[in-house]
């Protein structure tokens, strides 16, 4: 019978032999991280889209402070959407969620033009979110649909604000 010392001394030399004979690859500790799934990529694009909308709202409120009472609640809803989307992303080790704005359009000249621009951005966001539904998991589809419905109400609110501003 082998003593405990003999067994422990033999372990470093027999483990590779055992792995080779059993055709086991062993742990993949040093391999590359797994590829990001297509659903995660779509989710990350949704995060970026919300950040872009928040950026436009921030710029509009900074440039036209008289629009702040109408735009601030809509921006707050986008911040809530962003928080919900980010909560669904599981960050792989060594990677971070996107936090950079990728679209920085120039604002229209004047308050009514900015409202029209925001309304168009909201409508485009609704269409984009609805196009994401077919490939999404049930929980993500529910979230995308909920956000799209909210943004559709923003289209109506901004349409009414545009009419009142003219």
Return d(Cα 59, Cα 109) in angstroms, integer. 13
Q: Give the pLDDT of residue 40.
A: 83
Global pTM value: 0.76
Whether residue 145 is predicted with pLDDT greater than 90 in this model: the reply is: yes
Rounded to whole angstroms, the Cα distance separating 73 from 25 reads 55
Cβ atoms of 107 and 120 within 8 Å: the answer is no
Per-residue model confidence as pLDDT tens digits over 55-112: 999 999 999 999 999 999 999 999 999 999 999 987 766 666 667 777 788 888 888 8
What are the chain's domains?
A: 36-165 (1.20.1260.10)
| 23 pLDDT higher than 60 | no
Quick: pLDDT tens for 32-56.
Answer: 666 777 888 899 899 999 999 999 9
Local confidence band at 123 (pLDDT 50, 70, 90 cut-offs): very high
- Rounded to a whole number of angstroms, the distance between the first and last alpha carbons of the chain is 95
Higher pLDDT, 13 or 114: 114
Residue 24 has pLDDT above 60, yes or no: no
Q: Report the distance separating Cα 76 and Cα 57, nearest Å.
A: 10
At residue 56, the pLDDT reads 95
Would you state the structure tokens that stand for residue 110, as one six-digit string? 């004047």
Nearest-angstrom CA–CA distance, 1 and 70: 83
**Please, which contacts does 55-60 make with residues 24 or more away whose CB atoms are closer than 8 Å?**
55/101, 55/103, 55/104, 56/105, 56/107, 56/117, 56/118, 56/121, 57/118, 59/107, 60/107, 60/114, 60/118
Surface-to-core class of residue 114, CB atoms within 10 Å of its CB (0-12 exposed, 13-18 middle, 19+ buried): buried
Mean per-residue pLDDT, 130-141: 93
């Amino acid at each position: 019978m082998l003593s405990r010392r003999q067994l422990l001394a033999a372990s470093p030399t027999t483990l590779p032999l055992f792995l080779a004979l059993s055709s086991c690859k062993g742990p993949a500790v040093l391999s590359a991280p797994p590829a990001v799934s297509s659903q995660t990529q779509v989710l990350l694009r949704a995060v970026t889209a919300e950040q872009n909308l928040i950026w436009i709202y921030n710029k509009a409120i900074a440039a036209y402070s008289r629009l702040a009472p109408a735009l601030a609640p809509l921006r707050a809803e986008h911040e809530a959407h962003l928080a919900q989307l980010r909560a669904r992303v599981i960050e792989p080790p060594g990677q971070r969620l996107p936090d950079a704005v990728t679209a920085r359009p120039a604002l229209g000249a004047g308050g009514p033009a900015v409202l029209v621009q925001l309304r168009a951005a909201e409508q485009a966001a609704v269409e984009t979110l609805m196009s994401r539904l077919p490939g999404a998991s049930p929980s993500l589809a529910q979230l995308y649909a909920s956000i799209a419905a909210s943004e559709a109400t923003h289209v109506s609110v901004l349409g009414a604000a545009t009419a009142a501003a003219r």
